[in-house]
Amino acid sequence: MSTVESPDTNAPKILIITTIASSYTGANTVGQARAQYAPNTYIMRVPDPVMFPEDFYLRCFEKGFSGIIIMSSGSDCPYEGAYGRLSARVGRVYLTMREKGIPTNRLKLTTVCTVCKHAFLKEIDDMQKVVREQAA
Amino acid sequence: MSNLEPNEPHVGVYICHCGGNISDVIDVKRVATELGLHPNVVISREFPFMCSDAGQKLVIEDIRSGKINRVVIAACSPMLHELTFRKTLQRAALNPFLYEHVNIREQASWVHKGDHEGATQKAIRLARAGVEKILLQDELEEIQAKATKHVLVIGGGPAGLKAALNMAARNLRVTLVEKSSRLGGHLHELDTLYPSGESASALLAKLLAQVNESPLITVVVGTTVTAWDGFVGNFTATLSSGATVNAGAVIMATGYDHVIPAGGEYNYGGDPRVTTLPKLIEHLKTSAGKPLVWNGVPVKSVAFIHCVGSRQTEGVHAPQADGKVNDYCSRVCCTAALHSINVLKARQPDLDIYDLYRDIRTYGRGHEAIYEQASKNGVLFFRFTEDAQPEIREHTVVVKDILTWGEEVEIPADLVVLVTGIKQGAVGELIDMMKLPVSSDRFLQEAHPKLRPVEVANNGFFLAGNCQAPMDLVESSAAAGAAASKIAALLSKDYIPLDPYVARIDSEKCTGCEACIPECSYTGALFMNEGTKKAEVNAALCKGCGACVAVCAPRALDLAGWSIAQMEAMVDAMVTEVPA
Ligand SMILES: Cc1cc2nc3c(=O)[nH]c(=O)nc-3n(C[C@H](O)[C@H](O)[C@H](O)COP(=O)(O)OP(=O)(O)OC[C@H]3O[C@@H](n4cnc5c(N)ncnc54)[C@H](O)[C@@H]3O)c2cc1C
Ligand code: SF4
Ligand code: SF4
Ligand code: SF4
């Protein structure tokens, strides 16, 4: 162990909220394929992001996350009505973000399945650009 | 020596090298050292293979020594070894839920190979987040639901019959409910079966005899389920006859319906020369061995057109009743069509057969041989694209054949057979009543396509056959067998252990505002107690989705094992700085 490539512990951080049924496995699939992305990405595993109250996201921004990607199971969600509720909830978070002057592109609701390697990497790529622009 | 009080959480942290899979990228010693600085961490080790016997023994010994009462293991994905380590804790007589699994392989070392420092810092933060989560974890207990050793099978087609027989063979009592007046489903319509060549009637007779002989199977025909209540281990179905069935689990085996070509599609309904594959098969069944005569006219040439009602594209095809097109492949129709072609050719070798396809999907074992046989039988194949559908003319079919670079070919056809697909049966009422998940193609949805392929996310519901997706008899039978063995395991004890990850309410904090009630989609899972005027959860009915949690302003509601406080603590740990 010798290499020290990025001693920058202050790199803008991205929180990735994943679902047990779908996108968490999707993130594992990306790992199994040894696809590479930057380590400023923190994956959180939950049954479904519909559980989070709106202020959870705002608190994450306050605490230091620069971007949040919610990778839901979308229409393949095993929980009835959860996706509709989640998107309505995220819609309300956007309103509050606007009121508070937080750029809404720092929060992204998307759908990633168990094998969506490209979608997973693309979402990260897109959010990296957003957080880099914010930091600049 | 730790300065912690004995009743405080004492955490043991274990960083796995995974034989280099992790330690070649992540500095595991540094992660262990950093984690050891946490005030609640009393042991922090790294080890070559945590999942090995030696790795597990290390954890067991640390627990037994009384030094730790919480465990965090940073290793591969929890999907691989979460259960392994829960059992490790159980062996050391510690509550198995006082354990958190942190993924630093699939989601760190494998994906950050070129950034060892970044990956190491990330591993430290993720492991710290695991510690913070486990500090707030209670001793969860599995929920126990009574196991009624009786299974309800809905649908008496081949999948339902096989499921019932498989369960009876495991000594489970079964009630088989069939909506129509007879058992057998679509097997009644089929002639000889691909790939075996066996007669469908003979197969059906065999299945029915076995079902009749079984003292454990009760069959009710001409009956549907009209009301539904209860939860895994203890469901109550009310039948259209008024009778009730008490069952521990249920298998959905309601099969499929044929897609009927949309009005006027390929002149279907208007031109008597145009029929569908199921109708041709019915004809073959009732005209054994004879040359093909259609509407009294001897047939000399037949054109088959594939993918009718399947693999549709918006804008090209008329939508179905729900406004969506059938964009899925019906899977069985290619082989079924080619099999019927071979049956026709065997009867009438001089019959000219033209097969107009988009793709040939003879995916199953022995199916490709059926395609090869059709080629050997002299069938002429033409390939078209979805945006250039063949056109039916008076005695011909015109196709733009992409195998000959888009040449327009006019084919003689005394009979046109539309290779129609299959769709979900009319089970909307059951879906609403039982709150079953449906995928975008309208078929019933499994909990996970690979990890839980015959289970529904709703506890106690299982799938067999074509209600889940288009499948042939071999696949339907395999699904029925898989569902039966899952149920046999589920009902093997007197109680069914359920994951404790359900909503729970701190009644002290609950203000009775009722905001949570409309958030829950599952009848009976969350309700107001009229006496106390507080919300209550029925743990056996709660699916643990968490939808209710988000709206509870006083935070009286939480998901056990996934509380908002735990998630917030993890967030805080993830953003905390790591010394470079
Ligand atoms: C044209 C065609 C040809 C085929 N040829 C072959 C072949 O040669 N070989 C092969 O292996 N496979 C073949 N298949 C596939 C085969 O038909 C299916 O695999 C098989 O029928 C699946 O059985 P199932 O029990 O899932 O469904 P089904 O056969 O549809 O049976 C479902 C049963 O459930 C009942 N039901 C529905 N709703 C309810 C309700 N609400 N309550 C109670 N009962 C209900 C129905 O009445 C029916 O009896 C073919 C399919 C097609 C379309
Ligand atoms: S099985 Fe063949 S005919 Fe049927 S939808 Fe698929 S490709 Fe089309
Ligand atoms: S939302 Fe919370 S406070 Fe209101 S009734 Fe439900 S549990 Fe009680
Ligand atoms: S967690 Fe989901 S299923 Fe359980 S009570 Fe809350 S909303 Fe209902």
For ligand 4, whether the C-beta of B74 sits within 6 Å is: no
Beta-carbon count within 10 A of B13 CB = 30
Which residue from A minimizes the CA distance to B521?
Answer: A80
Cβ pair B118:A34 closer than 8 A:
no
CB B505 within 8 A of CB B556: yes
Residue B260 belongs to some domain of the structure: no
Instruction: Please say if the pLDDT value at position A91 is more than 80.
Output: yes
Residue B6 domain-assigned? Answer: no
Q: Whose CA is nearest to atom 24 of ligand 1?
A: B255
- Residue B528's CATH number: 3.30.70.20
Could you say which of B122, B142, B162 is where a domain stops? Answer: B142
Kindly report the protein residue whose alpha carbon is nearest to atom 6 of ligand 3. Answer: B516
Instruction: Judge contact between B227 and B238, C-beta under 8 A.
Output: yes
Report the DSSP pairing between strands B503-505 and B352-357.
unpaired
* DSSP secondary structure letters along B298-345: E-SEEEEEEEETSS--BTTB---TTS----S--SSHHHHHHHHHHHHH
Q: Residue B176: what are its φ and ψ, rounded to 5°?
A: -110, 115
Residue ranges making up the domain that contains B104 = 11-142
Domain covering A13-135 in this structure, CATH number? 3.40.50
Q: Are residues B249 and B392 in the same domain?
A: no
For B:158-187, CB contacts with A below 8 A are none
User: How high is the pLDDT of residue B287?
Assistant: 92
Query: What is the C-alpha separation between B461 and B115, in angstroms, rounded?
Result: 46
By percentage, how much of chain B surpasses pLDDT 70? 99
CA-based max dimension of chain A:
50
A14: amino acid identity, one letter: I
Decide if B522 is inside a domain. Answer: yes
Same domain, B110 and B237: no
CATH number assigned to the domain comprising residue B86 = 3.40.50
In a domain, B20, yes or no: yes
Residues B281 and B335 both lie in one domain: yes
Query: Distance between CA B224 and CA B500 in Å, rounded?
Result: 33
Q: Does the pLDDT value for residue A3 go beyond 50? A: no
Cα of B425 from ligand 1 centre, angstroms: 10
| DSSP secondary structure code for residue B109 in this structure | I
pLDDT at A38: 96
Q: Chain B: nearest CA to A7, how far in angstroms?
A: 6
Asked whether residue A5 carries a pLDDT value surpassing 50, the answer given is no
pLDDT higher than 90, residue A2: no
Task: Using CB atoms, pick whichever of B118, B448, B451 lies closest to residue A39.
Answer: B118
Q: For residue B171, give the 3-state DSSP assignment.
A: coil
One domain, residues B492 and B515: no
- A57 chain-B contacts, CB cut-off 8 A: none
B314 and B456, same domain (yes or no)? no
Q: Do B440 and A89 touch (CB under 8 A)?
A: no
In this structure, which amino acid lies at residue A59?
R
pLDDT reading at B131 higher than 70: yes
pLDDT in tens, B193-240: 999 999 999 999 999 999 999 999 999 999 999 999 888 899 999 999
Return the structure tokens found at A104. Answer: 């809404």
Q: Do B309 and B450 lie in a common domain? A: no
- Work out the pLDDT band at A4, boundaries 50, 70, 90: very low
More confident residue, B427 or B1: B427
Count up the domains in chain B and report the number: 4
For chain A, which residues make up each domain, given as ranges?
Answer: 13-135
Nearest CA in chain A to B440: A75
Distance from CA of A42 to the nearest CA of B (A): 7
* Residues in the ligand 3 pocket, defined by CB under 6 Å: B 505, 510-516, 535, 551-552, 554, 556-557
CA distance A101 to chain B (A): 22
Residues B176 and B35 occupy one common structural domain: no
The rounded Å distance from CA B297 to ligand 1 centre is: 31
Asked if B492 and B512 sit in the same domain, the reply is no
* pLDDT band per the 50, 70, 90 thresholds, residue B452: confident
CA–CA dist B328, B276 (Å, integer):
19
Whether B566 is covered by a domain: the verdict is no
Cβ(B305)–Cβ(B356) under 8 Å?
A: yes
A4, A37, A48 ranked by CB distance to B546: nearest:
A48
Same domain, B302 and B218: no
B352, part of any domain: yes
Sequence-ordered alpha helix ranges (H) in A20-53? 23-32
Please report the ipTM that was assigned to this predicted complex: 0.94
The reply to whether B213 and B282 lie within a common domain is no
Residue B61 phi, psi dihedral angles, 5° rounding: -65, -40
d(CA B547, CA B89): 31
Residue B469: phi and psi, rounded to 5, are 180, 160
For B375-433, how does the pLDDT look when each residue is reduced to its tens digit (9 = 90+)?
A: 999 999 999 999 899 999 988 999 999 999 999 999 999 999 999 999 999 999 999 88
Tell me: do B275 and B392 sit in the same domain.
Answer: yes
* Interfacial B residues in 96-135 facing A (CB < 8 Å): 103, 105-108, 110-119, 121-122, 125-126, 129
Beta pairing, strands B415-420 & B380-383: unpaired
Over the stretch B132-149, which tens digit does the pLDDT of each residue have?
999 999 999 988 889 999
**Domain identity same for B462 and B522:** no
Q: Which amino acid is at B295?
A: N
Torsion (CA) A58, A61, A65, A67 in degrees, nearest 10: 70
Residue of B122 and B2 predicted with greater confidence: B122
Distance CA A32, CA B103 (A): 13
CA-closest candidate to residue A109, choices A94, A99, A97: A94
Question: Residue B103 and residue A28: Cβ atoms within 8 Å?
Answer: yes
- Considering CB atoms only, which of B115, B445, B580 is closest to A9? B580
**Residue B2 is assigned to a structural domain of this protein:** no
